């Protein structure tokens, strides 16, 4: 999409419609498999790895200094995952590794050889958004959108943790079995690894709680 | 980031050989602190020996105690039924630390060896840091030392240890099981961390070829416990002051045994045996707690910007003891 087209689109559509359209467009793009089997002549010090990223296997020869975040963005051109602070303090780079949320900026890609990685690009099925993506739209859980991919990946794992009964720092009874009562306090504490400088927190909390209570995750 | 050799170990033996073969090699666990320090240029290892996949992540009962493998993640420990049942103070301390993402990545061994969050240590653009460059001085001494130590520091270093987990483990009288090619040994927590003295670059009792295998927890003395953490924001921040308090009460509610470990105020998790002994035989009253806090802070030497920590620690200790006695 050229900048001019974007301006025209933004002019014609309301902000939310625009974002929905953009989300659907990127959702469609995801159905095209990434044909990126880099058959590598290993350079000196490089390490051969194989990572599954959004269900597509990538065979790679990597400089061990490359973080999972830089692998996604710079080498595989999956730029949905964002580089905010690059020091594990903001959560914009959150992805799922074998179903668990991690900061991809602190992860050396070589250390994740064999892992199943899911980034924001791997969530929608065609133009059908993931329930959490839909909930962020419905609750207006963002302003500028920069932290949103990280917020969404983080939420998916967070809701699964809450269902499993994993305690948090604000849980009254750490040993209570069964799903967590996801109060606002619980949602805020569990999402504290994802900063939003626009301050969309109330709507992010609403998005994750409504998804949890609807039992969609 | 400076280039390094990446070595994936397939066994503990393998890892111990690799670390012995490379000068200035480091073990890589979750990488949450080490990778960050390599980005800033504070750490420049020649090689990383990846131990994250070694079979050292088991959390299992050993009699009335529990053994935690060094590669267990912080989240696995914090939600493990054995830990929640026997050592809730440890689960609380872990859950009070970092974010869910970091707890998923961070290992127990790595948590113990994380480096201080002293601004001047973390930023190599400051030339003076005895911990980073021995003999270079201490920029924090005359700098903005709000987060620094009030006890245990030296003229060479006033950095504090950042771990919450280590504070709870210190209160629990845990020990670190360490191995190298020649032997395995058990280091009690009170001997594991060293005070800075004139060698703040040496932080623990570990030899260069040592590897942390596990943490051994003795049988719990009581479930009357709490972890209180005071910080600048309510979540995802390091402690200004934290307290792990455990009280063993007899049938008359008198204190049989007390454990108080403090984080955020010293180069290592801080315990003062005489403060704990002052509580033995006492009823859990405000006056008794105040006396213990007073003994604990005797000799505290605040710096220009951290005087508030003395009063904050006093109040935090009293509140934690009160919460523990009522738990």
Residue pLDDT, tens place only, A78-93? 999 999 999 999 999 9
Q: Which residue has the higher pLDDT, A139 or A36?
A: A139
Contact A45/B36, CB-based, under 8 Å? no
* Greater model confidence, A18 or B116: B116
Confidence tier at B178 by pLDDT (50, 70, 90): very high
Pick the residue from chain A with its C-alpha nearest to B85.
A175
* Mean pLDDT computed over A125-152: 97
**Residue A131 domain-assigned (yes or no):** yes
Residue of B nearest to A106 (CA): B32
Does one domain contain both A112 and A169? no
Q: How many domains, in total, are found in chain A?
A: 2
Whether A160 and chain B come into contact, CB under 8 Å, resolves to: no
Q: What is the spatial distance between Cα B212 and Cα B190, in angstroms, rounded to a whole number?
A: 16
- The C-alpha atoms of residue B291 and residue B56 are separated, in whole angstroms, by 43
Residue A30 phi/psi, 5° resolution? Answer: -70, -20
- Residues A139, A214: one domain? yes
Mean pLDDT over each residue of chain B, to the nearest integer: 97
What pTM was computed for the model? Answer: 0.92
**pLDDT for the residue B36:** 98
Contacts of B8 in chain A (CB under 8 A): 47, 110, 113
The number of C-beta contacts closer than 8 angstroms across A and B is: 103
A98 in reach of chain B (CB within 8 A) = no
Inter-chain CB proximity A102 and B91 less than 8 Å: no
Question: Number of H helices and number of E strands within chain B?
Answer: 13, 11
Residue A22 touches chain B, beta carbons under 8 Å? no
- Mean pLDDT, rounded, for B65-82: 98
Interchain pair A102, B104: CB under 8 A:
yes
- Kindly report the backbone phi and psi dihedral angles of residue B306, in degrees, each rounded to the nearest multiple of 5, phi listed first: -120, 25
The B-side interface with A (CB below 8 A) comprises: 1, 3-6, 8, 28, 30-32, 35-36, 39, 48, 50, 52, 75, 78-79, 81, 84-85, 88, 91-92, 95-96, 98-102, 104-105, 234-236
Query: By the 8 A CB rule, do B116 and B166 touch?
Result: no
pLDDT at residue B127 tops 60: yes
Q: A50 at the B interface (CB within 8 A)?
A: no
Rounded mean pLDDT of B227-256? 97
Q: Which residues of A touch B122 (CB under 8 A)?
A: none
Give the residue from A213, A159, A146, A147 showing the smallest Cα distance to A190. A159
* A143 within some domain: yes
Cβ distance A161 to B235 less than 8 Å, yes or no, reads no
A150-175 average pLDDT score:
96
Q: Are B151 and B302 in contact (CB under 8 A)?
A: no
Shortest alpha-carbon distance between residue B160 and chain A (Å): 20
Instruction: Find the CB nearest A169 among B5, B50, B96.
Output: B96
Same domain, A67 and A142: no
Do A138 and A191 lie in one domain? The reply is yes
Residue numbers in B near A65 (CB within 8 A): 1, 3-4
- Please say if the pLDDT value at position A217 is more than 70: no
Which of A101, A122, A143 terminates a domain? The answer is: A122
Tell the burial category of B36 from Cβ atoms under 10 Å away from its Cβ (0-12, 13-18, 19+): buried
Closest CA to B265 of B228, B300, B224, B237: B300
Q: Quick one: average pLDDT of B129-157?
A: 98
Asked, for residue A186, whether it belongs to a domain, the answer is: yes
List domains and CATH numbers for chain B: 1-55 (3.30.43.10), 59-113+163-217 (3.30.465.10), 225-326 (3.30.390.50)
**B236 to A192: CB separation less than 8 angstroms, yes or no:** yes
| Residue pair B217/B60 in contact by the 8 Å Cβ criterion | no
Q: Closest-CA residue in chain B for A47?
A: B6
According to DSSP, residue B242 is labeled E
Residues A118 and A46 both lie in one domain: yes
- 8 Å CB contact of A167 and B84: yes
pLDDT at A37 over 70: no
Distance CA B181, CA A144 (A): 54
pLDDT score recorded for residue A42: 57
Q: Which two tokens stand for residue A186?
A: 């619980």
Asked if A28 is an interface residue toward chain B (Cβ–Cβ < 8 A), one would say no
Q: Is residue A139 a part of any domain in this protein? A: yes
- CA dist B172 and B149 (Å) reads 22
Question: Can you give the CATH number for the domain in which A207 is found?
Answer: 1.10.150.120
Please give the Cα distance from B138 to B153 (Å, whole number).
12
Residue-level pLDDT at A177 = 86
Contact (CB<8Å) A94/B92: no
Which of A104, A122, A140 terminates a domain? The answer is A122
Residue A44: predicted pLDDT: 76
Cα–Cα distance list, A97 to A51, A118, A123, B234, B245 (Å): 10, 7, 14, 27, 35
With residues binned 3-state (H G I as helix, E B as strand, rest as coil), the percentages for chain B, rounded to 5, are 30, 20, 50
In this prediction, residue A10 has a pLDDT band, given cuts at 50, 70 and 90, of very low
Q: Measured between beta carbons, which residues in chain A are less than 8 angstroms from residue B50?
A: 110-111
Q: Is the per-residue pLDDT at A24 higher than 90? A: no
- Share above pLDDT 70 across residues of chain B, in percent, rounded to a whole number: 100
Partners of residue B187 on adjacent β-strands = B176
Helix (H, G, I), strand (E, B) or coil at B291: helix
Mean pLDDT of B272-284: 98
Chain B residue closest in CA terms to A151: B101
Last residue of a domain, one of A122, A157, A188: A122
pLDDT band at A176 (very low <50, low <70, confident <90, very high): confident
Residue A134 belongs to what domain range? Answer: 124-217
């Amino acid at each position: 999409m050229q900048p001019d087209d974007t301006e025209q689109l933004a002019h014609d559509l309301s902000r939310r419609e625009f974002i929905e359209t953009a989300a659907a467009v990127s959702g469609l793009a995801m159905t095209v498999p990434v044909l990126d089997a880099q058959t590598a002549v290993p350079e000196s010090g490089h390490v051969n790895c194989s990572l599954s990223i959004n269900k597509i296997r990538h065979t790679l020869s990597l400089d061990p200094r490359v973080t999972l975040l830089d692998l996604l963005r710079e080498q595989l051109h999956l730029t949905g995952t964002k580089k905010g602070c690059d020091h594990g303090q903001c959560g914009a780079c959150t992805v799922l590794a074998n179903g668990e949320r991690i900061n991809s900026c602190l992860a050396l890609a070589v250390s994740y050889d064999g892992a199943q990685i899911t980034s924001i690009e791997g969530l929608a099925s065609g133009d059908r958004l993931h329930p959490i993506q839909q909930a962020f739209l419905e609750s207006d859980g963002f302003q500028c959108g920069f932290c949103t991919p990280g917020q969404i990946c983080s939420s998916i794992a967070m809701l699964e943790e809450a269902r499993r009964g994993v305690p948090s720092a604000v849980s009254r009874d750490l040993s209570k079995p069964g799903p967590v009562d996801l109060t606002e306090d619980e949602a805020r504490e569990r999402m504290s690894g994802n900063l939003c400088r626009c301050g969309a927190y109330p709507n992010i909390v609403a998005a994750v709680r409504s998804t949890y209570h609807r039992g969609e995750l | 980031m400076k280039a390094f050799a990446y070595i994936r170990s397939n066994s503990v033996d393998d890892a111990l050989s690799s670390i012995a073969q490379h000068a200035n090699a480091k073990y890589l666990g979750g990488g949450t602190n080490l990778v960050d320090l390599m980005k800033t240029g504070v750490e420049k290892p020649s090689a990383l020996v990846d131990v994250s996949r070694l079979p050292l992540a088991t959390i299992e009962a050993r009699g009335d105690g529990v053994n935690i493998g060094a590669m267990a993640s912080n989240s696995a420990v914090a939600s493990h039924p054995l830990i929640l049942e026997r050592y809730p103070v440890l689960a609380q301390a872990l859950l009070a630390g970092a974010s869910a993402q970091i707890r998923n990545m961070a290992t127990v061994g790595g948590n113990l060896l994380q480096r201080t969050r002293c601004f001047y240590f973390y930023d190599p653009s400051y030339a003076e840091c005895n911990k980073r460059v021995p003999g270079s001085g201490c920029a924090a001494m005359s700098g903005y030392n709000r987060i620094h130590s009030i006890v245990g520091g030296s003229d060479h270093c006033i950095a504090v240890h950042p771990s919450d987990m280590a504070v709870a483990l210190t209160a629990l009288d845990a020990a670190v099981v360490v191995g190298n090619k020649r032997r395995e040994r058990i280091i009690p927590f009170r001997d594991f961390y060293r005070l800075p003295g004139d060698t703040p670059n040496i932080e623990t009792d570990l030899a260069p070829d040592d590897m942390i295998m596990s943490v051994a927890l003795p049988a719990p003395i009581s479930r009357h416990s709490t972890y209180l953490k005071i910080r600048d924001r309510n979540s995802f921040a390091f402690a200004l002051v934290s307290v792990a308090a455990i009280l063993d009460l007899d049938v008359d509610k008198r204190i049989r045994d007390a454990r108080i470990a403090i984080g955020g105020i010293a180069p290592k998790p801080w315990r003062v045996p005489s403060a704990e002994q002052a509580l033995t035989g006492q009823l859990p009253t405000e006056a008794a707690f105040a006396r213990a806090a007073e003994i604990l802070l005797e000799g505290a030497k605040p710096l220009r910007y951290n005087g508030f920590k003395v009063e904050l620690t006093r109040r935090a200790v009293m509140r934690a003891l009160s919460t523990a006695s009522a738990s």
